[in-house]
Structure 1
Amino acid sequence: MEEKYKTLKIVDKVPKSGVLYLNLNRPLQHNALTHDFFSEFPKALYALDHNPNVNVIVLSGAGKHFCSGIDLSLLKSTADSNSVPGGESLRRQILAMQESITALERCRKPVIASIHGACIGGGIDIITACDIRVCTEDAFFSVKEVDLALAADLGTLQRLPTIVGFGNAMELALTARRFSGLEAKELGLVSRVFHSKNDLDQGVRVIAEAIATKSPIAVTGTKTVLLRSRDLTVDQGLDFVATLNSARLLSGDLPEAVTAHMQKRKPVFSKL
């Protein structure tokens, strides 16, 4: 029986397409992130990652916005409950929340962030851990934490510089200024911008379903190599991919891809 979540909803929009939709599902609160979210999010990703019928995950927000950041009540309760000397209790909470976001990178399947409306604070933490980011023209973004007397601590300051460049990340994080979907494209934060929410939904579906037709072994291997190579030298990255492919090339997907190409038919790949 499928698990029920308080803050999330899994939707199978197109059965047998290999694409599942994971929605942040607190629309009345603009999908602000709560304790329940940080508990449920890695569980939902794990379930989708280990479902052999899922090849691609689309992450989106229900309602008018993608994510308005961490719920202010969570910030207050976290600060009020910090009773261990030296802040160790708070540190453990932050580390656990970090792991919830990092679950996006630990997930073998590619995750596409489909962004509309607001993407603020914790929303930036989430999308920078996703593999592909696309948005609407009227989407807006802000690395908001300095306005709350905080340094962003769930991954933005670590991941954003590799996406938009160090200087751009520094400016966005220090000013907390709001920037548009079109500027996000100029910065490289998103790879595509769509005119409307309807265009976004259709465009994301095309991207996701195209990836879902490819060999799951090749797709998950590509994600793994790109993420691992981020922290390696070129030589180390080359050695890593050689080791990875030397094992994965033993699967039947390579000969199936070649045969299908020669026979001018769609390949049938093995499931993970």
Structure 2
Amino acid sequence: MNSIIRSAFVGSRGLWRPALNAVRAMSASGGPTPPFTTLAISQPATHITHVELHRPEKRNAMNQAFWSEMVDCFNQIAQDPECRVVVFSGAGKLFTAGIDLMDMASGLLRPEGDDTARISWKVRQTISKYQETFSVIEKCPKPVVVAVHGACVGAGVDMITACDIRLCTQDAWFQVKEVDIGLAADVGTLQRLPKVIGSGSLVNELALTARKMYADEAKSSGLVSRVFPDKETLMAGAMEVAGEIACRSPVAVQSTKINLIFSRDHSVREGLDFAATWNMSMLQTDDLMKSAQAALEKKSLKQVLFSKL
């Protein structure tokens, strides 16, 4: 992470602290972290980076700046050896209302170009740019735990389906909103949600009717893995999960994420071949011996010092 962002991180670099203490260290009200205008970045515990969508006065709606700032943020996180896991959340009363239509309307409704071909070419470039905003989460080798409270609408669903672990509050609800505003979702939902939920019928129903899915159904369908009573317990739970990931070998964790995503998009045979090729080098790590020694000595992995990756 660059020096500007690193200087804004909070928390110590000592041993991992209890989840509730880490939650209190998160940037809940300090505003966006320069140079960002839509994201607040903090380090609530060792090796854990908290990225918070921070436009609470706009219900965390995604404006033009957001789409490029997310790419810059996660590209930096991917290269930051101090970070081993990311917690992503939204500031204020809800996770996100989706696209900020007022801010984005001019570019979406009045694209530049002299004729149909040139206008279409420009529109395709714009859509590809927006797709990268969420694909960068998937490309980042650090696991991303997303914590959803309240509403998660439209592009919010596109975003969370690119995350690795999804948690939510009991009052959370999810909505694939795009058909209600006259378009097909084009930045990830229609591609990732079928792989996340697994029920084609349910995905089709959500995408074609734009109905709301509430927390209990989200859990039973597999969209989220755990539901918490309120935001405080949600964030504590997210920090607990992140802490369990952060204390493990970064070689093992990042290799696991990369292999899981590759296997999702390829056949079993291709996934096995990829894993064999990957591990022919990654098995040659001291982390194996450190983990084995900790098991023999019945030590917690929180007591093991793994080198930066």
Please confirm whether the aligned pair reaches a TM-score higher than 0.5, indicating the same fold.
yes
Q: Closer, same or farther in 2 for the Cα pair 1:80/1:151, shift >3 Å?
A: closer
Cα distance in 1 for partners of 2:224, 2:254 equals: 21
- Structure 2 partner of 1:107: 140
TM-score by length of 1: 0.96
Instruction: Give the length in aligned residue pairs.
Output: 270
Partner of 2:87: 58
After superposition, what is the alpha-carbon deviation per residue over 1:169-192, rounded to whole angstroms, capped at 9, x for unaligned? 111000000121111101110000
C-alpha separation in 1, matches of 2:102 and 2:78: 31
Matched, 1:12 2:43: yes
Contact 1:24 1:60 in 2 (8 A): yes
1:233-268 per-residue CA deviation (whole Å, 9 max, x = no partner) reads 111111111111111011111111112222333322
Alignment-mate amino acid for residue 156 of structure 2: G
Percent of residue pairs bearing the same amino acid type: 44
Q: Where does structure 2 lack aligned partners over 5 or more consecutive residues?
A: 6-33
Deviations 1:115-156 (A, max 9, x none): 001100000000000000000000111000000001000000
Which SS does the other structure have where 2:4 is aligned? coil
Picking from 110, 116, 131, the partner of 1:81 is: 110
- SS, match of residue 145 in structure 2: strand
Aligned alpha-carbon RMSD (Å): 1.1
Whole-Å separation in 2 of the counterparts to 1:80 and 1:182: 37
- Give how far 1:75 is off: 3.9
The reply on whether 1:197 has 2:259 as its aligned counterpart is: no
Post-superposition Cα deviations, 1:188-216, rounded to whole Å, max 9, x if no partner, equal 10000001111101111111101100110
Aligned to 2:4: 2
| Larger deviation, residues 200-209 vs 127-136 | 200-209
**1:148 matched to 2:181:** yes
Say yes or no: does 1:72 pair with 2:101.
yes
Q: Could you tell me how far apart the structure 2 residues matched to 1:74 and 1:88 are?
A: 22
Whether the aligned pair in 1 keeps the contact of 2:63 and 2:104 (CA below 8 Å) is no
The equivalences for 1:222-237 within 5 A come to 222-237=256-271
- Name the stretch that deviates more: 192-201 or 151-160: 192-201
> Displaced runs of 4+ in structure 1, greater than 6 A?
none
Distance across 1 between alignment mates of 2:128 and 2:239? 34
Structure 2 distance, partners of 1:221, 1:99, is 22
Deviation, structure 1 residue 74: 3.8
Deviates more, 1:83-92 or 1:32-41: 83-92
- DSSP 3-state at the match of 1:221: helix
Report the counterpart of residue 16 of structure 2 in structure 1: none
| Distance of 1:144 and 1:55 partners within structure 2 | 33
The one-letter code of the counterpart of 1:8 is L
Q: Which runs of 5 or more structure 1 residues have no equivalent in the other structure?
A: none
